[in-house]
């Protein structure tokens, strides 16, 4: 005799014989175990610690780059003011920082004005500005040539 879908199951005395559909699981897991959480935290730590070091190094480089940019802008300002002074008084070889230029804390500047060459109609001077930045061994330097026409 074939059992149809309407045929009831015979009563069973042994619990293991009850179909899976009718059994209720008593030990259902509702969350994570402590070991799973510890493994997840350990893996997260292994990944994040090197990234933290990278972020710190990137921030340090960003600050250094910002100071170098500030130094170059300062050098450009000093250079432009020195060129303007030379246009007014060609004999001015004053190596001081022009008035109105404030050096940030820790920065230092040196200006050098030298005779470069004398070509027939031109008198040429070299103007160099060096800015030293805190914690950076090499200075930022801008150099330019300034010329004026000499009298024939």
What rounded mean pLDDT belongs to the chain?
83
Rounded distance between C-alpha atoms, residue 140 and residue 135, angstroms: 13
pTM over 0.75: no
Residue 132 to residues 41, 140, 147: CA-CA distances in angstroms?
46, 6, 27
CB 143 within 8 A of CB 128: yes
Confidence of residue 8 (pLDDT cuts 50, 70, 90): low
- Top mean pLDDT of 5-14, 42-51, 101-110, 133-142 is at 42-51
Residue with the bigger pLDDT between 25 and 126: it is 126
């Amino acid at each position: 005799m074939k059992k149809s879908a309407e045929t009831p199951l015979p009563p069973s005395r042994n619990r293991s014989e009850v179909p899976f559909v009718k059994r209720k699981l008593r030990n259902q897991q509702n969350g994570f175990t402590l070991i799973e959480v510890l493994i997840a935290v350990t893996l997260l730590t292994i990944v994040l610690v090197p990234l933290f070091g990278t972020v710190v190094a990137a921030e340090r480089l960003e600050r250094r780059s910002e100071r170098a940019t500030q130094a170059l802008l300062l050098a450009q300002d000093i250079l432009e003011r020195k060129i303007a002074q030379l246009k007014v008084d060609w004999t001015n070889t004053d190596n001081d920082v022009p008035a109105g230029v404030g050096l940030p804390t820790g920065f230092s500047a040196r200006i050098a004005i030298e005779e470069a060459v004398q070509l027939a109609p031109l008198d040429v001077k070299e103007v160099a500005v060096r800015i030293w930045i805190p914690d950076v061994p090499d200075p930022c330097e801008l150099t330019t040539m300034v010329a004026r026409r000499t009298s024939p």
